């Protein structure tokens, strides 16, 4: 078991707000003056200048210091921000008080706004003439439905810019000292989701259970037992190093370092919850002496 020695920035320590204080769909923009039913311009070039632009912005894994400069600038100048559950509180606190802010939620099974309503909201806000920052955890194009939002915005004839963010796997790697690739251990890196649209975890197991590969599974905690069982059934040794990392790069970061066979039980015993990543592969055996020897008790 290990936990991060994460030193929150002053901003992080002093400006945390209670997530529960945000009502779902908090302060929703209702498209005042917007015309969500009007005909869209035929091409992006024909978009009237009174229409705003939508920026799909990656907020990174939680630590505000991992925002890109462009993301920080866009947030600081934002007139309207639509943000997800996994955007760190310290980053939400960077939204200017005067900006219109909408909490779109999207915890597993608890979506404050359904995806079609989020898409429409982005269009409505832009049609009000607002430049919209759509703030998403990690990178908008990695398991973030950023592609769907971009398509909806562009289909409405509204300009859309993508600002990449540090994805959770990269954040977790950096603060655990687990390199995602290493010449002696892993030449392939695979990101997979453990939460499929139809609620199953019917993944391409032979492709995932490959040697000399690091596998990172997002949104897989609910199916952890099935995932470990399938990886072993498809050829990975039960002793393959495996880890679960919760809330990487935030003050709440913690995790467990185990094997494929023991991981479900270890995670249960430790009570580790989402958001969390499952990492599988020989790279996890690399203990840089940063975090893997620490326990939650020593950092509590």
Ligand X SMILES: C[S@@+](CC[C@H](N)C(=O)[O-])C[C@H]1O[C@@H](n2cnc3c(N)ncnc32)[C@H](O)[C@@H]1O
Binding site for ligand X (CB under 6 A): 61-62, 86, 136-139, 142-144, 167-168, 171-172, 218-219, 245, 247-250, 274-277
Give me 160's structure tokens. Answer: 């859309």
- In this structure, the number of other CB atoms found within 10 A of the CB of residue 171 comes to 24
Considering beta carbons, is residue 105 or 275 the nearer one to ligand X?
A: 275
- In terms of DSSP H, where are the helices of 89-209? 89-92, 115-127, 146-155, 168-176, 205-208
Q: Measured from the CB of residue 176, what is the shortest distance to ligand X in angstroms?
A: 10
Nearer to ligand X, 34 or 140 (CB): 140
Provide the 8-state DSSP code for 225.
Answer: H
Minimum CB–partner distance for residue 178 and ligand X (Å): 13
Tokens standing for residue 94: 């960077």
Q: What are phi and psi of 188, to 5 degrees?
A: -130, 145
Nearer Cβ to ligand X (12/245): 245
Whole-angstrom Cα distance, residue 142 to residue 298? 34
- CB under 8 Å to 140, separation ≥6 — which residues? 56, 57, 58, 134, 146, 149, 162, 163, 164, 165
Q: Smallest distance from the beta carbon of 143 to ligand X, in angstroms?
A: 4
106 catalytic? Reply is yes
Nearer CB in complex with ligand X: 144/251: 144
DSSP 135: E
Residue 50 burial by Cβ neighbours in a 10 Å radius (0-12, 13-18, 19+) = exposed
How far apart (Å, rounded) are the C-alpha atoms in residues 4 and 175? 7
With CB atoms as reference, the residue minimizing the distance to ligand X is 138
Is 287 annotated in the active site?
no
- Which position among 53, 63, 93, 106 bears the catalytic label? 106
Residues making up the chain, counted from first to last: 300
> 84, 124, 131, 266: which is the annotated catalytic residue?
84
Closer residue to ligand X, CB minimum distance, 139 or 266: 139
* CA distance linking residue 262 with residue 275, whole number of Å: 20
Nearest distance, CB of residue 127 and ligand X, angstroms: 26
CA pair distance 95, 97, nearest whole angstrom: 6
Nearest CB to ligand X, comparing residues 16 and 79: 16
CB 184, min distance to ligand X, A: 26
**Do β-strands 132-136 and 80-84 pair in parallel, antiparallel, or remain unpaired?**
parallel
CB of 294 to ligand X, least distance (A): 17
**3-class secondary structure, 82:** strand
Residues known to be catalytic: 84, 106
């Amino acid at each position: 078991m290990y936990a991060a020695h994460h030193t929150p920035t002053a901003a992080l320590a002093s400006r945390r707000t209670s997530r529960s204080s945000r009502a779902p769909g908090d302060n929703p923009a209702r498209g005042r003056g917007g015309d969500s039913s009007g005909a869209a311009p035929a091409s992006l070039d024909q978009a009237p200048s009174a229409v705003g632009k939508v920026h799909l912005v990656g907020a990174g894994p939680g630590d505000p210091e991992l925002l890109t400069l462009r993301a920080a600038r866009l947030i600081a100048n934002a007139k309207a921000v639509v943000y997800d559950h996994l955007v760190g509180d310290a980053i939400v606190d960077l939204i200017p008080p005067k900006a219109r802010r909408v909490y779109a939620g999207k915890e597993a099974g608890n979506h404050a706004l359904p995806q079609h309503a989020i898409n429409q909201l982005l269009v409505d806000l832009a049609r009000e003439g607002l430049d919209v920052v759509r703030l998403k955890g990690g990178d908008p194009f990695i398991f973030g439905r950023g592609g769907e939002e971009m398509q909806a915005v562009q289909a409405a004839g509204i300009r859309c810019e993508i600002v990449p963010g540090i994805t959770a796997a990269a954040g977790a790697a950096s603060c655990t000292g687990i390199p995602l690739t290493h010449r002696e251990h892993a030449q392939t890196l695979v990101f997979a989701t453990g939460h499929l649209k139809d609620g199953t975890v019917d993944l391409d197991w032979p492709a995932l259970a490959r040697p000399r590969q690091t596998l990172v599974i997002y949104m897989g905690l609910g199916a952890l037992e099935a995932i470990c069982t399938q990886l072993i059934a498809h050829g990975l040794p039960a002793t393959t190093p495996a880890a679960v990392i919760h809330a990487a790069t935030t003050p709440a970061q913690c995790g467990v370092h185990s094997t494929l066979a023991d991981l479900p039980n270890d995670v249960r015993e430790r009570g580790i919850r989402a958001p969390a990543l499952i990492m599988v592969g020989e790279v996890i055996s690399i203990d840089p002496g940063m975090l893997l020897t620490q326990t939650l008790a020593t950092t509590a």
